[in-house]
Amino acid sequence: MTAPVTMAIVLPATSAHRRRHSAVRRCRAVGDSATITGERGDDRRPARVEVAVALAGLRHPAAIKAMIASPAIQAEAVVRSVIDTQPDMVMTAPVEIRPPRALHRAWAIPLAAVGFCSLVAVLVVAVLPATLRATNADGDAAEFALVPADAEPVADRLSFDAVERHRADGTFLFVTVREPKITLLDWFVGEQQPEVGFLSFEDKYGGQTTEQQHEISVQMMRSAKETAEYVAIGYLGYPVELVAGDVIVGDLVCLEASDDGQKCEDWAPSDDLLDPGDKLLEVDGTSLITIDDLSPILARHEPGERITVRFDRPGEGEQSGEVELIDAADGTGRTIIGFVPFDTSTTEVPFDVAIESGEIGGPSAGLAFTLTLIDELTPGELSGGGRVAVTGTIQINGDVGAIGGLVAKTSAVKQTGASVFLVPTAQGEADIAAARAVAGDDLEVIAVGNLEEALAALAALGGNGLDLGQPGAGFEPPA
């Protein structure tokens, strides 16, 4: 008897397609986060010259500047008489000090009470959870804010060995955002700022626990660095090679989307067992070393069959269970488990290169890493000698992908004094327009779709991106 066949469909990689379980508080990760990486519906409000959110929980570090206070009132000149007071002069009788009238005393108590109550109200609002009033763009209770963080030079985080490094006067900046937990007072202050967005618990963590989400974010950053090395170093003609890595669940496959395409109505059966971030160790009794080991195993089975999967879940350890296989939606007739794997490949290059990312996660710095690697491995000024901020993921083929929190990142860039901000065309017209509204006249936002477009945009700014050549062709590392 033939088992029923289930067809999978592929949806755009929007944050709304992240899996959700009612048993655990989870959220869809905003691409990035860091790379953090969701967008707000109120991002189209008029731009302000500078973010000045008063609370520490929302205030952008770049906006905190030392200020020298100027006296509001000039001191009165003190004049002394040069004529000695005569000892026999008539002394002025002391002025009688009358007590306040009863009417004045009557007003003092209510005014003091009002002032005291106002102070108490501010203190109370400052500790009350934001979920009592704050909501995200979908109307869900918001516990967190998405706020600007910083724009930092990439070159300071690079290191090379056995290859000449060319230091440039210009610099490329990668951009980050933060997602702090907020109070009701934070929400009252932040809701008037177009660069501040609000996130529910599900927005922030999606279908994962906090530990799983952290592991996924770190994996995204690791993948972004490996891909940037492959694209940049290969673009310059150096010999590079991709080596397949572990099998790690990225997203679960959606079988049926909502009418507007923004939500998943029905997930693949694998959703009952697997979570994003799970590392597959064994499938149908066969151990997995790399992603390349998975296809031959699944080729022995038909859609609808059930197989055993053993996996390692961050924070919980090894687990196993059965999963129903489905048919791939690409028309190839392949049998799949029903998940999109992370790109865990590593890059082999003929010299040592490292990018120090610290505790920063997410994939959104991929393009910034790629451009900086190209700049440091070639003479001249790729940026044209200026400060250029960059955001966007990078794919193996050089395409630039969308990220989360573009408006907040634009605000972070604006406050660093950079004059140009490269952003992904894949972000969409509405999001890019909102970013330009926040950027104002002093920051030019340029949308690019791939590495070639980014190099052309930099060449228009005076950079040498169209004259790089192939300096790595025939490269031989020192003996």
DSSP symbols for 157-179? GEEEESS-----SSEEEEEEEE-
CATH architecture of the domain covering 148-182+210-242+351-460: 2-Layer Sandwich (3.30)
Q: What is the pLDDT of residue 394?
A: 97
The segment with the largest mean pLDDT, out of 81-95, 194-208, 308-322, is: 308-322
Res 22 pLDDT > 90: no
Confidence category of residue 111, pLDDT binned at 50, 70, 90: low
Res 82 pLDDT > 80: no
Q: How far apart are CA 154 and CA 158, in angstroms?
A: 7
Res 313 pLDDT > 90: yes
Average pLDDT score, the chain: 79
Res 116 pLDDT > 70: no
Q: What is the DSSP string of 439-474?
A: HTTSSEEEEESBHHHHHHHHHHTT--TTS---TTTT
Q: What is the pLDDT of residue 332?
A: 85
Q: What is the pLDDT of residue 440?
A: 94
The DSSP bridge partners found for residue 270 are none
Confidence category of residue 200, pLDDT binned at 50, 70, 90: confident
Q: Is the CB of residue 5 less than 8 Å from the CB of residue 303? A: yes
Copy the structure tokens of residue 1: 């008897």
Res 38 pLDDT > 90: no
What distances in angstroms separate CA 143 from CA 133, 181, 426, one per listed residue? 10, 6, 28
Confidence category of residue 12, pLDDT binned at 50, 70, 90: very low
pLDDT, tens digit (0-9, with 9 covering 90-100), for 315-371: 899 999 999 999 998 888 899 999 999 889 999 999 999 999 998 999 999 999 999
Q: Give strand ranges (E) for 90-184.
A: 144-153, 158-161, 171-178
Q: What is the pLDDT of residue 69?
A: 35
Res 5 pLDDT > 50: no
Q: What is the pLDDT of residue 112?
A: 65
pLDDT, tens digit (0-9, with 9 covering 90-100), for 388-424: 999 999 999 999 999 999 999 999 999 999 999 999 9
Mean pLDDT (whole number) for 166-185: 90
**b or e along 375-393 (b: 16 or more beta carbons within 10 Å of the residue's beta carbon)?**
bbbbebbbbbebbbbbbbb
Confidence category of residue 198, pLDDT binned at 50, 70, 90: confident
- Ordered by start, the domain boundaries in the chain are 148-182+210-242+351-460
Q: How far apart are CA 340 and CA 337, in angstroms?
A: 9
The segment with the largest mean pLDDT, out of 58-62, 163-167, 398-402, is: 398-402
Q: What is the pLDDT of residue 201?
A: 83
Res 79 pLDDT > 70: no
60-69, 103-112, 154-163, 240-249: the lowest-pLDDT one: 60-69
Q: Is the pLDDT higher at 334 or at 36?
A: 334
pLDDT > 70 in the chain, percent:
70
Q: What is the pLDDT of residue 137?
A: 74
The DSSP bridge partners found for residue 347 are 242
6-20, 184-198, 341-355: the lowest-pLDDT one: 6-20
The DSSP bridge partners found for residue 90 are none
